[in-house]
Amino acid sequence: MSLDKATVAKIARLARLKAPAQLLEPMTGELNTILKFVEQLSEIDTKGVPPMTSVVAMNLRMRADAVTDSPGAEDILANAPERAEDFFVVPKVVE
């Protein structure tokens, strides 16, 4: 199946990327080339084949239910583009 420009614009929105009108056409072309390539998979009948869920044969470990220390607010905020006291600052989200 092939994507149209409206679908590409919707995917961009879902991915929180801007897709300006003049870039939609080439983006649609590129994405369709890749999708056409991956669609080879439909040649193979995978009925009854379990999808891989673990790369190597292992079970996820359980860990002790114990307190672990956080590195502290200074470390967490060290790379913040904008902070106020011990908080990250974002544009206003409530009216």
Partner 1 sequence: MSLSVDDLAGLSIAAARDGLRRKSFSAAELAEASIAGMEAAKRLNAIVLATPESARASAKAADSRLASGNARPLEGIPLAIKDLFCTKGVRTTAASKILDGFVPTYESTVTQNLWNAGATLLGKANLDEFAMGSSNETSCFGPVISPWSLERDNPRHVPGGSSGGSAAAVAAGFALGATGTDTGGSIRQPAALTGIVGMKPTYGRCSRWGIVAFASSLDQAGPMTRSVRDAAILLNAMAGFDPKDSTSVDTPVPDYEAALTGDVRGLRIGIPKEYRVDNMPAEVETLWRQGIDWLKAAGAEIRDVTLPHTKYALPAYYIVAPAEASSNLARYDGVRYGLRVPGDGLIDMYENSRTEGFGAEVKRRIMIGTYVLSAGYYDAYYIKAQQLRTLIARDFETAFGNVDAILTPTAPSAAFRIGDKADDPVAMYLNDVFTVPVNLAGLPGISVPAGLSAEGLPLGLQLIGKAFDEATVLRVADVVERAAGFKARPAPWWRA
Residues that bind partner 1 (CB under 8 A): 3, 8, 11-12, 14-18, 27, 30-31, 33-35, 37-44, 46, 49-53, 55-58, 60-61, 63, 71, 75-76, 78-82, 88, 90-93
Compute the least distance from the CB of residue 70 to partner 1, in Å.
12
Compute the least distance from the CB of residue 20 to partner 1, in Å.
9
Compute the least distance from the CB of residue 50 to partner 1, in Å.
6
The DSSP secondary structure of 34-77, one letter per residue, reads HHHHHGGGGGS--TTPPPP--SSS--PPP----------HHHHH
Q: Nearest 5°: CA angle at 77, between 75 and 82? A: 155
Q: Which is nearer to partner 1, 60 or 84 (CB)?
A: 60
Compute the least distance from the CB of residue 6 to partner 1, in Å.
13
Q: How far is the C-alpha of 58 from the C-alpha of 63, rounded, in Å?
A: 15
Q: How far is the C-alpha of 21 from the C-alpha of 9, rounded, in Å?
A: 9
